[in-house]
Amino acid sequence: MNKADLITSIAKETNLTQKKVSEVVDAILETIVEVVQNEGSITFTNFGKFEKRLRKERKGVNPKTGDLILIPPKEVFIFKPSKNIFKTE
């Protein structure tokens, strides 16, 4: 499923227009990104947690030359699902 499919599905379930649903989905995604960038994480009970983490500096190999390289640290966006998100009950 992609974003357009999600919007179509939500529009059918809620009887809202696809334009309105699209605006809401965009606002939710923008808010999640903003909160994670500024505060470090956002948690949705029974769904999961979006958070920003610092990936440490590490050693790597240049695939073309085989030379060892140092990969610099960087911030990454992580999603950790809730423990009960995949329960089928």
pLDDT 10s digits, 1-55: 999 999 999 999 999 999 999 999 999 999 999 999 999 999 999 899 999 999 9
Q: pLDDT tier at 89 (50, 70, 90 boundaries)?
A: low
pTM over 0.75: no
Tell me which DSSP letter residue 40 carries: S
Tell me which DSSP letter residue 15 carries: T
User: For residue 33, what are its two tokens?
Assistant: 């990104």
User: For residue 38, what are its two tokens?
Assistant: 């500024």
Instruction: Name which of 69, 72, 68 is nearest 56 in CA terms.
Output: 72
3-state secondary structure of 11: helix
pLDDT at residue 37 in the model: 93
Q: Where are the beta strands (DSSP E) in 1-89?
A: 41-44, 48-55, 58-61, 68-71, 74-81
pLDDT at residue 14 in the model: 95
